[in-house]
């Protein structure tokens, strides 16, 4: 199934840098319900939240984060907490891969104390048939443009991903906040 790729739009990297370095913690703001930091939530429980990227470079690009403000998975999480968090991340990745055509799911943790300090995992589903020179880091970099997604399209995609979650992981509010 070769779907037509979504068009891309330019990404204002300077504005984004200002927002992440000068604004509040985006995950804490989302969890608190700040209307300026709304995202389409695909999953949340008492400890974890997963939501679609506001600036997706790949369709289905999600972020998964602990709700508590942690900044470093190596030092701020005990091994059993990290394993529980990664188990949820795995469930979300499988739901994404079931909702959108996926050749491979990229998974990484980005951010630093200088910006986007709240620990979060990026789950980026690489579609099939992407030329090799457009894969890996190229596919993730906003500098190469972001998908021109609509709010309605993202809402429908979030619902498709939620529909793929196993019953025992469907719970809590999963709407847009």
**What's the CATH number where 44 sits?**
3.30.428.10
pLDDT for 3 equals 54
Domain assignment of residue 177, yes or no:
no
Angle between helices 151-163 and 79-99 (to 10 degrees): 110
Domain assignment of residue 40, yes or no:
yes
Domain assignment of residue 3, yes or no:
no
User: Residue 161: what are its φ and ψ, rounded to 5°?
Assistant: -65, -45
Encode the chain (177 residues) as per-residue pLDDT tens digits: 445 567 888 887 778 788 877 878 899 999 999 999 999 999 999 999 999 999 999 999 999 999 999 999 999 999 999 999 999 999 999 999 999 999 999 999 988 888 788 999 999 999 999 999 988 998 888 888 899 999 999 999 999 999 999 987 654 444 444
Please name which of 58, 62, 61, 64 lies closest in space to residue 128, comparing C-alpha atoms: 58
User: Residue 163: what are its φ and ψ, rounded to 5°?
Assistant: -65, -20
Domain assignment of residue 104, yes or no:
yes
Beta carbons of 11 and 142 less than 8 angstroms apart: yes
Beta carbons of 28 and 69 less than 8 angstroms apart: yes
Domain assignment of residue 174, yes or no:
no
Residue ranges making up the domain that contains 40? 8-169
Number of domains, the chain: 1
Q: What is the pTM of this model?
A: 0.88
Domain assignment of residue 57, yes or no:
yes
Domain assignment of residue 41, yes or no:
yes
Domain assignment of residue 13, yes or no:
yes
């Amino acid at each position: 199934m070769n779907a037509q790729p979504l068009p891309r739009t330019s990404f204002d990297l300077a504005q984004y840098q200002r927002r992440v370095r000068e604004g509040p913690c985006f995950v804490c703001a989302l969890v608190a319900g700040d209307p300026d930091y709304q995202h389409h939530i695909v999953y949340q429980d008492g400890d974890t939240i997963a939501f679609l990227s506001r600036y997706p470079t790949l369709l289905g690009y999600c972020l998964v984060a602990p709700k508590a403000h942690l900044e470093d998975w190596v030092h701020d999480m005990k091994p059993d907490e990290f394993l529980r968090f990664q188990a949820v991340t795995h469930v979300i990745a499988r739901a994404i891969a079931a909702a959108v055509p996926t050749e491979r799911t990229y998974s990484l943790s980005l951010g630093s104390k200088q910006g986007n300090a709240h620990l979060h995992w990026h789950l980026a589903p690489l579609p099939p048939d992407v030329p090799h020179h457009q894969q890996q880091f190229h596919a993730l970099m906003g500098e190469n443009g972001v998908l021109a997604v609509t709010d309605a399209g993202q809402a429908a995609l979030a619902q498709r991903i939620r529909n793929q979650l196993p019953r025992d992981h469907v719970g809590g509010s999963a709407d847009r906040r």
